[in-house]
Amino acid sequence: MSVSLIRSIFTGFVRSLRSYATLIVMPLLVVGCAGLQEGVLVTLPAYQTNLTNQKVYSGSPAKIHVAPLKDVRSNILGDLIGERKSFNTSLGDIEMSPIPVNMIGQLLESELRALGNKIVDSDEEFRVEGQLNKFKIVTPNTISYWDINGEIDITLATVSRVGKAHNSHYTVTCTDRTFVWPSEDIIRGVVTDCLGKIAASLQNDTTLASFLAGK
């Protein structure tokens, strides 16, 4: 028997073992994870900016009212932001507190205030309103690991007292990987990362800065 034939037989045997192992291990993982099926509530503290009251806009502070955002996410509302899955088997919902629209509202007020503006409930010079298009977490996995992928997408309209408008659109993604389990702490870290990227987008929006400065 030739060496090449022996090598071919051995290679085929190893591939067969891998295939059988996959067929056995994957159902066991799904069954095992199904036993862990339960929802998770990801709790975050009140939003705080990483800026230290840097006055970016020239002139007197702009008086801004931030209206509650509309939640227009598809097939996902309220405190729901996704679900943990293993090989497309649901392991329970992922919920968040504060609810996403309230957290984004906190972020907008905090960041606009830190940029040198004044947040007011009435007699505003500018009104910020908008909608939450996406705020979700997905957990695709392989035999070896889970990816925790987050996405936030918002659109804003900033309208002046005289009716002039400036439209903004911010969208970010973020991810982490775990070889153990997509725990509450890991999911919280991904959500926090996404919120930080949304904040950075707002901080670096020079066209919005010019609009609020009246330029």
Domain chopping of the chain, boundaries: 1-35, 40-212
pLDDT at 24: 40
| CA-based max dimension of the chain | 92
76 confidence band (pLDDT: 50, 70, 90): confident
> Can you name the CATH fold of 40-212?
Rossmann fold (3.40.50)
Name the DSSP class of 62: P
pLDDT at 134: 97
User: Smallest Cα–Cα separation from 160: which of 51, 63, 40, 23?
Assistant: 63
For residue 86, give the amino acid letter: S
3-state secondary structure of 159: strand
- pTM for the model: 0.81
The yes-or-no verdict on residue 8 having pLDDT over 80 is no
The answer to whether 187 touches 148, Cβ cutoff 8 Å, is yes
Mean per-residue pLDDT of the chain: 85
